[in-house]
């Protein structure tokens, strides 16, 4: 391929993105007065093909406030059919109830909330009775939250690696602890999703890092209430091979987290080919959430517009 071909392809891609941004940006940047009941209506843009889930508050620069209900309505108007809220457990009960009610009214899904993610201690990797009791108490709190909010997914990070204990013993302990957790989750219909995280850039010292490792654990626990959340940002750093690993572990994947690399911002800002990934998931019939757990490459309202335009571009597979 010569330089002219490279230049032409670059120009075509930029022009495609510019059209998508131009379609989304004018409507987004005009959004005003949401508290007074005037909400943005998507300009000819229907629902996305997949359930991309912005975090509640992701578009607060455009919405003009941090009110979760206004932010949920804005996401719905833009064609999103899901949201997620890592901090749901920390919200006042009254606010949790309002969020649940509005999502039900709009027919939107709620992605996994963070139930347990203590990066500083060994927890699931031990067979310590006190730590197991602590974990099970936490799981019971998650069940109570799920009952109030109709949440179906709870995210868990199994904690730190124990350098004094062989990996195989740690893995056995994790499996055993998760079996106890599954007994609590099953009657409530709540599913735990385990998140492998990268130790190279963001979270050194953690036990769970790879999709094959998480797959082995889930298959060993052998419960439909213990699954994986595949964070594609983290896995691009840890092991790459994204689509083959999705294919291999698909039966045990309950949700996805999104973010491009490097930078952990919206698709099109880094090296991951999200259009191919989304096409693959669509053809697999995936109907779960894809949580947009990333930042924005541009701040403010312009950044909000770019995020939405990027998802429109990636959703056009």
pLDDT in tens, the chain (317 residues): 444 444 444 433 444 444 444 444 444 444 433 333 333 344 447 999 999 999 999 999 999 999 999 999 999 999 999 999 999 999 999 999 999 999 999 999 999 999 999 999 999 999 999 999 999 999 999 999 999 999 999 999 999 999 999 999 999 999 999 999 999 999 999 999 999 999 999 999 999 999 999 999 999 999 999 999 999 999 999 999 999 999 999 999 999 999 999 999 999 999 999 999 999 999 999 999 999 999 999 999 999 999 999 999 999 99
Domain ranges of the chain: 3-314
**pLDDT tens-digit map of 181-213:** 999 999 999 999 999 999 999 999 999 999 999
- pTM of structure: 0.87
**75/149 Cα distance (integer angstroms):** 19
Q: Tell me: the pLDDT tens digits for 249-292?
A: 999 999 999 999 999 999 999 999 999 999 999 999 999 999 99
CA gap 240, 232 in Å, rounded: 9
* CATH number for the domain running over 3-314: 3.20.20.150
């Amino acid at each position: 391929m010569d330089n002219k071909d490279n230049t032409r392809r670059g120009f075509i891609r930029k022009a495609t993105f510019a059209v998508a941004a131009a379609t989304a940006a004018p409507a987004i940047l005009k959004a005003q007065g949401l508290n007074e009941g005037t909400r943005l209506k998507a300009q000819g843009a229907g629902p996305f093909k997949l359930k991309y889930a912005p975090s509640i508050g992701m578009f607060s620069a455009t919405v003009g406030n941090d009110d979760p209900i206004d932010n949920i309505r804005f996401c719905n108007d833009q064609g999103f059919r899901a949201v997620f809220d890592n901090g749901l457990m920390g919200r006042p009960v009254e606010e949790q109830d309002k969020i649940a009610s509005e999502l039900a009214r709009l027919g939107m899904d709620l992605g996994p909330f963070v139930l347990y993610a203590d990066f500083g201690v060994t927890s699931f990797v031990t067979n310590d009775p006190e730590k197991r009791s602590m974990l099970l108490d936490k799981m019971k709190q998650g069940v109570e939250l799920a009952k109030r909010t109709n949440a179906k997914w709870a995210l868990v990070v199994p904690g730190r690696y124990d350098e004094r204990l062989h990996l195989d013993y740690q893995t056995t302990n994790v499996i055993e602890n998760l079996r106890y957790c599954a007994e609590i989750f099953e009657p409530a219909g709540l599913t735990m999703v385990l998140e492998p995280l990268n130790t190279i850039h963001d979270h050194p010292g953690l036990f769970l890092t790879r999709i094959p490792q998480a797959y082995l654990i889930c298959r060993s626990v052998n419960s439909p209430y213990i699954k994986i959340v595949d964070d594609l940002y983290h896995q691009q750093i840890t092991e790459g091979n994204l689509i083959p690993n999705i294919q291999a572990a698909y039966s045990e994947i309950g949700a996805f987290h999104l973010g491009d690399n490097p930078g952990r911002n919206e698709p099109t800002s880094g090296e991951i080919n999200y259009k191919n990934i989304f096409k693959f998931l669509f053809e697999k019939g995936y109907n779960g959430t894809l949580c947009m757990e990333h930042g924005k490459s541009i701040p403010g309202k312009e950044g909000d517009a770019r995020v939405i335009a990027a998802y429109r571009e990636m959703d056009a597979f």
